[in-house]
Amino acid sequence: MISDRVKASLKREFYQSRAAQVGLALVVIITLMAVFAPMIAPHDPTTQRVGTGDTAELTDLPPISPVPGHEFVGTREQSIVNETTGEFRNVQVEVPANASHPLGTNERGQDILSRVIYGARVSMLVGILGAALAAIVGVPYGLVAGYFGGRLDDGLMRIGDVMLAFPSLVLAIALIGVFRDSGFHTTDLPDPFVAAAQADAIPNILIPRSGHVATMPEATTFPVTVTLVVALVNWVWFARIARGEALSIRAEEYVTAARGLGASNTTILRQHILPNAITPIIVLATIQVAFIILLEASLSFLGFSGTNLTWGADIQQGRNGLSSGKWWVSTMPGLAIVLAVVGVNLLGDWLRDALDPGIQGESGGV
């Protein structure tokens, strides 16, 4: 499917463009982080350390400063009880940073670095699956509309125009409002690494840090509704691009030739139109992944995703601490979102420049 010419062009652009290298590196790092989260994360991201039971209190720890001697210092309110009189007073005590929590902890004592690493799972999964679903619906829809043209095209694209009458976030919020009470709002995806480490199925030597992995969460909560909804509000962009491509490709001589040789419409669509329309679709899909990551973050910030272990939800959680000096709780997951989206956007620019300098990447999508 990928011709040598395309490969050469991708390679050339990649070696020339520093931006493309940075983008690919970011996306690879974040994807690896998402896949191998149980091995990389230093702590269980859900464990609360509020000082009850056998856990020590480790709430609101500030992160470690990258510059030694300039440690970030957090404060926490504590009661000091006089041993003889029983009187107590509340004082602000300074909290030292803790090397085992490099990005600090939140008000429940959960490790922020671990939560950022696990948060990548939901973001990347929703981003990629959402864009893929949107493409699966939108591309055939647009190809059929553009290829057959006429009344069918008019009808199909009018339906698309109706979808575009809603700003995507507004439609997404309304649809989630409808579906979030249903049984499939979220589903638990078991973590294969944790399951393997616990069951001793594979020799533990094959799983790095298997003892540590076995203590990690057994499942990741995956927001099904959010994924379906982001696909539902974005498929139209794929339909529009695919239609435009099909409209121009169907006039090509090789399509006329194929028809003259007796090829059926299905064959022509599959063997001639789709392969020649695929480049702009791939570029759009990349931009859409970036857009969907942002959309998912917005939805989970608003509390609509049904899971707490996402970047957006963590930003919401740290919001109250902003005015009382606990700046790190919201800042860290936000930086993760920015890095992920910058990476995907740079990747999109690279693909666009290498594959098809003719498309206006900024205008499609979003």
Q: Nearest CA to 94 among 77, 78, 75?
A: 75
Query: Is 110 in a helix, a strand, or coil?
Result: coil
- Stretch near other proteins under the rule CB under 8 A, chosen from 73-81, 165-173, 195-203, 260-268: 165-173
| CA–CA separation, 202 and 283 (whole Å) | 39
For residue 235, state whether it binds other proteins (rule: CB under 8 A).
no
Query: Shortest gap between Cβ of 296 and other proteins (angstroms)?
Result: 10
> Which amino acid is present at 143?
L
Residue from the set 30, 226, 242, 341 that interacts with other proteins by CB under 8 A: 341
Q: Nearest CA to 95 among 62, 128, 70?
A: 62
How many other C-beta atoms lie within 10 A of the C-beta of residue 63?
Answer: 22
Residue from the set 174, 189, 206, 219 that interacts with other proteins by CB under 8 A: 174
Q: Given its phi and psi angles, is residue 303 left (phi above 0), alpha (psi -120 to 50 degrees) or beta? A: left
Q: Which two tokens stand for residue 21?
A: 């290298």
Residues ≥6 apart with Cβ < 8 Å to 25: 343
- Stretch near other proteins under the rule CB under 8 A, chosen from 173-181, 199-207, 213-221, 256-264: 173-181
Residue from the set 161, 188, 218, 252 that interacts with other proteins by CB under 8 A: 161
For residue 323, state whether it binds other proteins (rule: CB under 8 A).
yes
Q: Which two tokens stand for residue 246?
A: 């099909």
Residue closer to other proteins (CB basis): 41 or 336: 336
Residue closer to other proteins (CB basis): 54 or 181: 181
For residue 155, state whether it binds other proteins (rule: CB under 8 A).
no
For residue 239, state whether it binds other proteins (rule: CB under 8 A).
no
For residue 330, state whether it binds other proteins (rule: CB under 8 A).
yes
Whether the CA torsion 287, 290, 296, 302 is positive or negative: it is negative
Query: Shortest gap between Cβ of 237 and other proteins (angstroms)?
Result: 10
Query: Shortest gap between Cβ of 148 and other proteins (angstroms)?
Result: 20
Q: Which two tokens stand for residue 172?
A: 């997404």
Residue from the set 178, 189, 201, 257 that interacts with other proteins by CB under 8 A: 178
Q: Which two tokens stand for residue 126?
A: 């929703």
For residue 208, state whether it binds other proteins (rule: CB under 8 A).
no
For residue 195, state whether it binds other proteins (rule: CB under 8 A).
no
Q: What element of type H or E holds 284?
A: helix 274-301
| CA–CA separation, 316 and 301 (whole Å) | 5
- Stretch near other proteins under the rule CB under 8 A, chosen from 5-13, 85-93, 194-202, 297-305: 297-305
- Stretch near other proteins under the rule CB under 8 A, chosen from 3-11, 39-47, 88-96, 174-182: 174-182
Residue closer to other proteins (CB basis): 38 or 74: 74
Residue from the set 2, 165, 251, 261 that interacts with other proteins by CB under 8 A: 165
Q: Nearest CA to 115 among 294, 345, 321, 328?
A: 328
| CA–CA separation, 257 and 345 (whole Å) | 39
Buried b (16+ CB within 10 A) or exposed e, 301-325: beebbbbbbbbbbbbbbbeebeeee
User: Residues binding other proteins: what is the number (CB under 8 A)?
Assistant: 46
For residue 290, state whether it binds other proteins (rule: CB under 8 A).
yes
Q: Which residues in this chain contact other proteins in the complex, by CB under 8 A? A: 158-159, 161-162, 164-171, 173-179, 181-182, 290, 294, 297-298, 301-302, 312, 315, 319, 322-323, 327, 330-331, 334, 337-338, 341-342, 345-346, 360, 362-363, 366
